[in-house]
């Protein structure tokens, strides 16, 4: 089965969107998991031939993305609640993270996040107990990042299998 020029373009754009999405999870500039899922949606909706395989691939990718998104918020949230980190600390961390992103591109986001949480926890708990609480929040944020990265990578792998199963071949 040969590919038309439009099929190549669709596969290329979908693949790039998925790859940028996976990288975007780690480099928080683009909505990573959503972009990866959108790449599979584009491929399923715009592709030619093997419609059942494409939509089955999209369905499995959607289930994985939803499970990843849900887990991303539930597990770290439970960890933060058990550690006693209040939502106000996370809000301050998020706000200073966004400000930091614009002041010092890319690395300002994590620096601002840590600083925001630390400052709120220092006011709330005092200097001695602020850093352990901040480390708990960082551990939860790392867990959320790992969950989202795993889900985006799984979506990419599912797409590759769907691409191969649908009969894609090099010209």
Please state, in angstroms and rounded to a whole number, the distance separating the CA atoms of residues 65 and 155: 7
pLDDT tens sequence for the chain (171 residues)? 455 677 888 888 999 999 999 998 887 777 889 999 999 999 999 877 668 888 999 999 999 999 999 998 888 878 877 777 888 888 888 898 889 888 888 788 888 888 888 998 889 888 888 888 888 888 888 888 899 999 999 999 999 999 888 876 544
CB 56 within 8 A of CB 121: no
């Amino acid at each position: 089965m040969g590919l038309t020029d439009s099929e190549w373009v669709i596969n290329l754009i979908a693949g790039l969107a998925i790859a940028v999405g996976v990288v975007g999870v780690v480099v928080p500039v683009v909505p990573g998991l959503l972009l990866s899922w959108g790449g599979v949606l584009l491929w399923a909706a715009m592709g030619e031939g093997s419609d059942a395989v494409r939509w089955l691939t999209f369905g499995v990718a959607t289930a994985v993305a939803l499970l990843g998104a849900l887990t991303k918020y539930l597990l770290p949230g439970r960890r933060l609640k058990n550690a006693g980190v209040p939502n106000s600390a996370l809000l301050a961390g998020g706000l200073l993270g966004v400000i930091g992103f614009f002041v010092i591109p890319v690395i300002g986001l994590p620096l601002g996040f840590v600083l925001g949480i630390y400052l709120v926890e220092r006011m709330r708990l005092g200097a001695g107990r602020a850093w352990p609480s901040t480390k708990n929040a960082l551990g939860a944020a790392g867990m959320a990042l790992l969950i989202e990265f795993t889900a985006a990578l799984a979506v990419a792998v599912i797409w590759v299998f769907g691409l191969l199963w649908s009969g894609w071949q090099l010209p």
